[in-house]
């Protein structure tokens, strides 16, 4: 993961120089000390450095390597094992969540997983056939995605959980090609949490390492006028619960579409004659309540509204089902 495989246009060199100059300008917004003992101190430092608001999105690795990557760092247990003590993923998410809680406006944390048995594509990140100094197809796609993400107000923090190895990740950031702003950072959670210092200080050091660039990135996004920019509304499909959950809670199980039980998401309805379809209420991507904001909040039934209209609802306005869960969409 040490070289770039993205295609660059003729202005890439100039763009890289602008990125470097822009980085110099934004660094003044992120001035941190190195002696924090609590997460509260780190939160105060982030606010002082210019961070005003944030919306945390969590992505979790569920690949099979989690089963043996805790041999050294997690007492030979699976990194996702549940028990009396939090596993490394739970620890990392808790630390970041508590640190950013003050900046979260809606108190919703979207979460997604990848690499489990239901989402794997029979491919590997890096094949043994990939030569030294070369990147696999998946690595190239990852780098390209990071570059494209710099056109959005999105900061990417990759947290190294488990035994690793993480050596190549230390060079990864420096070898990503030119971007609108520096939007990627790697932090080794395992190394920081293994230091012989009090737990509160370890948590503070991890939070600082993971988030210290966020204020500068926030300012960069503001300077580039990325915040609040509308780019249209991509189609979103809300997936049904996993099979294991559907079997345990059959009332939330998807069903085959028929004339009497059809919705745009294939979910069963209490009464086939009463619910209305999204298509009956204007634009497919516009909130069916206010008719002005984009849909960005999904309910367990599969229907969507905007976050402002949906946050206080008790029942879905389209199918009248009791709302038991909400998922923020981005």
213: its two tokens: 């660039």
Q: Over 70: is that where the pLDDT of 28 sits?
A: no
- The answer for residues whose C-beta is within 8 angstroms of residue 27's C-beta and 6 or more apart is 216
Tell me the pLDDT tens digit for each residue of 219-266. Answer: 898 899 887 776 655 555 555 555 554 555 455 444 443 333 333 333
CATH code where residue 305 lies: 3.30.40.10
List the domain range (segments joined by +) for residue 131. Answer: 12-223
Q: Per the domain annotation, does 47 fall within a domain?
A: yes
Q: Per the domain annotation, does 265 fall within a domain?
A: yes
Answer yes or no: do 167 and 245 share one domain: no
Q: How many CB atoms lie within 10 A of CB 185?
A: 19
Residue 160: which H helix or E strand, with range? strand 156-160
Report which of residues 19 and 231 the model is more confident about: 231
Count of domains in the chain?
2
Residue 188 per-residue DSSP state? E
Q: Per the domain annotation, does 228 fall within a domain?
A: no
Peptide bond preceding 165 in cis form (omega within 30 of 0): yes
Q: How many CB atoms lie within 10 A of CB 152?
A: 15
Answer yes or no: do 34 and 138 share one domain: yes
Q: Over 60: is that where the pLDDT of 29 sits?
A: no
Answer yes or no: do 194 and 85 share one domain: yes
Answer yes or no: do 212 and 255 share one domain: no
Domain boundary among 200, 223, 246: 223
Q: Per the domain annotation, does 5 fall within a domain?
A: no
Q: Per the domain annotation, does 1 fall within a domain?
A: no
Tell me if 283 sits within 8 A of 295, measured CB to CB. no
Q: How far apart are CA 178 and CA 181, in angstroms?
A: 8
DSSP letters along 288-300, please? TTTSSSBP-EEET
> Which segment of 22-26, 56-60, 162-166, 259-263 scores lowest on mean pLDDT?
259-263
- The answer for residues whose C-beta is within 8 angstroms of residue 37's C-beta and 6 or more apart is 198, 200, 201, 204
Question: In which band, very low, low, confident or very high, does the pLDDT at 45 lie, cut at 50, 70 and 90?
Answer: very high
- pLDDT of 177 reads 83
- pLDDT of 27 reads 42
Answer yes or no: do 113 and 250 share one domain: no
Tell me the pLDDT tens digit for each residue of 73-132. Answer: 999 999 999 888 999 999 999 999 999 999 988 878 888 888 877 766 666 565 556 666
20-33 as b/e: b if 16+ CB within 10 A: eebeeebeebbebe
- pLDDT of 279 reads 41
- pLDDT of 129 reads 65
Q: Over 60: is that where the pLDDT of 4 sits?
A: no
Tell me the pLDDT tens digit for each residue of 175-194. Answer: 788 889 999 999 999 999 99
Reference 135, options 144, 18, 194, 113; nearest CA is 144
- The answer for residues whose C-beta is within 8 angstroms of residue 150's C-beta and 6 or more apart is 179, 180, 181, 183
SS3 state of residue 217: helix
Answer yes or no: do 150 and 216 share one domain: yes
Question: In which band, very low, low, confident or very high, does the pLDDT at 53 lie, cut at 50, 70 and 90?
Answer: confident
Q: Per the domain annotation, does 261 fall within a domain?
A: yes
Q: Per the domain annotation, does 6 fall within a domain?
A: no
Domain boundary among 182, 198, 223: 223
Answer yes or no: do 51 and 134 share one domain: yes
Q: In which region does residue 296 sit, left (phi positive, over 0), alpha (psi from -120 to 50) or beta (all else)?
A: alpha
- pLDDT of 231 reads 65
Q: What is the pTM of this model?
A: 0.62
Q: How far apart are CA 68 and CA 240, in angstroms?
A: 30
Answer yes or no: do 217 and 239 share one domain: no
Tell me if 296 sits within 8 A of 307, measured CB to CB. yes
Tell me the pLDDT tens digit for each residue of 149-177. Answer: 999 999 999 999 999 888 778 767 777 88
- pLDDT of 240 reads 58
Q: In which region does residue 239 sit, left (phi positive, over 0), alpha (psi from -120 to 50) or beta (all else)?
A: beta
Residue 112: which H helix or E strand, with range? strand 111-114
């Amino acid at each position: 993961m040490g070289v770039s495989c993205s295609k660059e246009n003729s202005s890439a060199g100039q763009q890289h120089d602008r990125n470097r100059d822009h980085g110099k300008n934004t660094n003044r917004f992120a001035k941190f000390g190195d002696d924090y003992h609590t997460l509260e101190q780190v939160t105060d430092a982030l606010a002082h450095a210019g961070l005003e608001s944030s919306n945390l999105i969590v992505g979790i690795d569920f690949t099979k390597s989690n089963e043996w990557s805790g041999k050294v760092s997690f007492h030979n247990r699976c990194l996702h094992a549940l028990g009396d003590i939090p596993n490394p993923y739970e620890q990392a998410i808790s630390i970041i969540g508590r640190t950013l809680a003050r900046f979260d406006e809606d108190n919703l944390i979207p979460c997604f997983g990848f690499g489990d048995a239901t989402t794997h594509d029979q491919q590997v990140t890096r094949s043994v056939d990939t030569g030294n100094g070369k990147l696999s197809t998946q690595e190239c796609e990852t780098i390209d995605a990071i570059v494209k993400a710099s056109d959005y107000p999105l900061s990417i923090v990759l947290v190294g959980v488990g035994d690793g190895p993480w050596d190549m990740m230390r060079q990864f950031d420096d070898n990503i090609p030119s971007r609108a702003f520096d939007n990627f950072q790697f932090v080794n959670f395992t190394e920081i949490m293994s230091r012989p210092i009090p737990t509160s200080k370890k948590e503070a050091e991890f939070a600082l390492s993971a988030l210290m660039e966020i204020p500068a990135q926030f300012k960069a996004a503001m300077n580039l006028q990325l915040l609040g920019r509308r780019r249209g509304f991509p189609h979103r499909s809300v997936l049904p619960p996993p099979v294991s959950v559907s079997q345990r809670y059959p009332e939330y199980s998807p069903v085959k579409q028929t004339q009497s039980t059809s919705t745009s998401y294939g979910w069963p309805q209490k009464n086939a004659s009463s619910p209305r379809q999204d298509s009956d209420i204007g634009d497919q991507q516009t909130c069916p309540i206010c008719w002005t904001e984009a849909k960005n909040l999904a309910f367990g039934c599969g229907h969507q509204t905007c976050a402002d209209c949906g946050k206080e609802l008790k029942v879905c306005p389209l199918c009248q089902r009791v709302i038991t869960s909400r998922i923020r969409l981005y």
